[in-house]
Amino acid sequence: MQDEELSPHVDEIMEAVGDKVSREQVFEELKKYLTVFRLNLPTAKRTIVKKLGGMSENFPASNQRKLEAIGPGEMSVSFVGKVLSVNDKEIESQGARKRIVYGMIGDETAVVPYTAWEIADLKIEKGWVVSVRNAYTTEYQGRVQLNFGTRTGIKRDEATEIRVESIPSAPAKPAKIGDINENSGRVEVTGRILSIEKKLVGGEKGAREIFTGMIADETGRIRFTVWGDARLKEGDVVKINSAFAKAWKGIPQISFDEKADITRIKGAFPSAKELSVAKGVEISELVGGNGAADVTVSGVILQIKEGSGLVFRCPECKRVLQKGTCRIHGKVEGTADLRIKAVVDDGTGALSVVMNRGITEELLEMSIDECIEKAREVMDYDVVKDLLDERLIAKPIEIAGNVTVDEYGPMMIAQSAHGTDIKVKEKAEKLLLELEESE
């Protein structure tokens, strides 16, 4: 590149760094980064601005692009767009809670979702036209996602007008509740409200009212969240025209706001009692798939895992203590609890199950006080784990609860459990025999 061709780029760098250095020094720096270090021009310019203490948000936008031209996996993109929505939420990152801002931003060519991961100095409002530099992109469900990180500069642009007033969305697809998963997008759902409760959630603008509950049709049940008061009541049969499907640890959920198109349905529809019966599934349906809410599995207990039996929890955070120590609060006086961590097999697959104190007392036929007394008699808290092994291994069982799925496979948090019929027992004995023969 000839010296005269570099001149406008030197001007841009000078505008960003001010009078901190001379024009000649910037010129020589730019030539060095291009010819010696072999950097491309945009990278060389950004590097010099950063090195000389310039402000990235003031750096001119010579490499700005239209949103439709931006693809996934790009590490540095710049553009001008109109902010169509601004939302905030709290997430867990590296073991700590932090707040992020997310929403939609658009120009005349496209509308794209964004997430701002560092919000301490973030200045952005709905309706603003902003100049963005050094964003990076990822992909989710085949769609480009913009990300604003520590290197991103965002500046309001009051001189530019962008005509994009609304967020385009795909039409809602009619869906049975049992078929909904995290990839379903916007769905039209018809079901009966089985439960609903009001909650208050915090935010930067103060507490906000939401409603959560369970809605069901003949194919299944799903948890919902309404942002605001849509005046839903337990027992209502409703058609929700545009709910958004998502998932938590694989368990499908839907959400919508108080302004959603909701129609009350008259006529025949299964009763709440009929819809409250948990759906029976085989474990093979859960392995490698999505999570599930309120399902029933019948199988046999093959293993009682370590960490089952009598445990002691931190009175502050409820974590299980290790040798009387909480990893957050240190040495504390623990609170006694009972639990079972088991592996259940139904012949089609295996499922990890966690059962709480109430279920453990019922299956063990001992109260927590009796378990503590038994442990004190023999001076060994592990005696309760031994009792669980003795009484529950190979026991046929029917359990109901929510199933989450991660890299370790499916796991159920049990809501109820009880012994089941002889057919499962025969199946269990056959399965145990096969396992013994294979060893």
Sign for the pseudo-dihedral over CA of 297, 298, 300, 304: positive
Pairing of strands 279-280, 292-304: parallel
Sign for the pseudo-dihedral over CA of 396, 397, 398, 402: negative
pLDDT of 430: 58
CATH number of the domain at 67-156, out of 3.30.300.20, 2.40.50.140, 3.20.20.140, 2.70.98.30? 2.40.50.140
pLDDT for residue 400 is more than 80: yes
What are 80-101's pLDDT values in tens digits?
A: 999 998 988 888 777 778 889 9
Is the pTM value of this prediction over 0.95? no
**Looking at domain 279-438, which CATH architecture does it have?**
Beta Barrel (2.40)
The span from the CA of 390 to the CA of 402, in Å, is 27
E-strand spans in 12-167?
77-83, 87-93, 96-106, 111-116, 129-140, 143-148, 153-156
pLDDT of 123: 86
Q: How confident is the model at residue 150 (pLDDT cuts 50, 70, 90)?
A: confident
For the chain, the domains span: 3-58, 67-156, 174-275, 279-438
Do 216 and 276 touch, CB atoms closer than 8 A? yes
pLDDT for residue 422 is more than 80: no
Which residue in 72, 52, 51, 74 sits closest to 63, CA to CA?
A: 74
pLDDT for residue 367 is more than 90: yes
What are 340-350's pLDDT values in tens digits?
A: 999 999 988 89
Which residue in 230, 233, 255 sits closest to 245, CA to CA?
A: 255
Protein fold of 174-275: OB fold (Dihydrolipoamide Acetyltransferase, E2P) (2.40.50)
